[in-house]
Amino acid sequence: MKSYPFTSILGWSSSRFDTFSLCKRKYFYSYYSKFDNEFPKELIDRLKRLTTEPLVVGELTHDVIKTTLERLQHSSKPIDMPRFENHIKSLVNKVTGERIFFDSYYSNAIINVAKITEEIITNVKSLLDSNRFLWLNAIDMNQRKSWIIEPAGFGETRIGDLKAYCKVDALIPHEGKAYIFDWKTGKRDDLKHRKQLAGYALFAMKNLNYAASDIIPVVSYLKKGYEENQLELTYEEIENFHQLVQNETKEMYGFNSDIENNIPINKNEFQQISGGICSYCEFKELCVRA
């Protein structure tokens, strides 16, 4: 897999541009806390780390699936489910004890640890009980060594001459094809998810030299039983993704005073949005103070 030398210039990612589109002030706090002259960086970063129950469910579901697939690379033995569930419970207890939750911070709400645990177990079991997991088990053990499961780092790649981050959940080479899996624990959003998978497909083309026709992107929904959406992305669609990234990157560059060093313009030019989304924003405390 290709690696790239460090550069300071910002890198496009789907999540970064989503934040940029949602609220420019939130975007500033999320990516440029060290440039703020109004509030301590430590406070901004503490608020940035606030989490929610759905976010923890998604994060830990991904972590458990990663561990499960890594185990599958070495063994096809049946999983000891009671032990497996106890592992998930311990993991949830550890993470919920370490993290600060949005609702706890702002409303002193009690976190429903049992609900989080149950949802993660349900999500993972959706995969384990699926035909897709049987398919994974049927792959020859020697071929499993080539699986790419949440690669280290942030999935840095290049789209044209632009830095971008497109980290796949799992890429499974099989019979000359690259199956790219994206595990989803939230609501179905076909447009957003197609955009993400186009990025992953381009990652496979640029970093692993797969032809577009040999890439099979799969969105895997886990919340209510296993459901797949296997996308058919044309070469033109994947290549056109380059233009989309270029346009979105250019928009974000517009808020840099120094593009190469990723230095932002003045914070006051990152417009603060007033509306319903503010009540769910981790940085709302700062906007109220301001």
pLDDT at 265 > cutoff 90: yes
Query: 113, 96 in Cβ contact below 8 A?
Result: yes
pLDDT of the residue at 289 = 60
Query: 111, 53 in Cβ contact below 8 A?
Result: yes
Gap between the Cα atoms of 246 and 87, Å rounded: 43
For residues 135-148, give the mean pLDDT: 96
pTM check: above 0.85? yes
Sole residue written with tokens 């550890």: 94
- pLDDT grade for 159, boundaries at 50, 70 and 90: confident
Task: Tell which CATH architecture fits domain 14-250.
Answer: Alpha-Beta Complex (3.90)
Instruction: Output the average pLDDT for the chain.
Output: 93
Query: Domain segments of the chain: what residues?
Result: 14-250
How many Å separate Cα 146 from the centre of its chain?
22
| Between 76 and 275, residue with greater pLDDT | 76
Name the amino acid, one letter, at 81. M
In percent, how much of the chain has pLDDT > 90?
Answer: 75
pLDDT of the residue at 236 = 80
DSSP class per residue in 133-177: HHHHHHS-GGGGGG-EES-STT-EEEETTEEEE---SEEEEETTE
pLDDT of the residue at 207 = 82
pLDDT of the residue at 169 = 95
Gap between the Cα atoms of 76 and 63, Å rounded: 19
Token pair recorded at residue 8: 């300071």
